[in-house]
A = this chain, B = another copy of it.
């Protein structure tokens, strides 16, 4: 599914539930942060090593939280007027300049 299709689908979903008044970038940013923290909670008492070998249940839970974050993320881009794919390419280019690779 491409991003703009997903964004349109989420706009329709919100509209069918009369949620539009709540869909401001400010509120959506709060909701995305809440979901990011729910994802963080999965790992809070695990060692870094344990976080690399999740059980099936943990992996399923992780997939749900990742999806929740992603769904708010594309809605913030949509309602905030950001072209997400263009922003992503720009950021990847910036990161390559900011962090030059190690020479061996």
Contacts from A to B (Cβ < 8 Å): 1, 9, 13, 16-18, 22, 24-27, 29-34, 36-52, 54, 59, 62-64, 66-71, 73, 76-77, 79-92, 94-96, 99, 101-103
Contact = CB atoms under 8 A, between A and B. Distances in A.
A4 B30 CA distance: 28
Given A17-B101, A66-B87, A43 B59 contact: no
Given A54-B80, A82-B59, A91-B67, A39 B45 contact: no
Q: Count this chain's copies in the assembly.
A: 4
Contact of A29 (B42, B67, B77): B42
A76 B44 CA distance: 14
B27 A102 contact: no
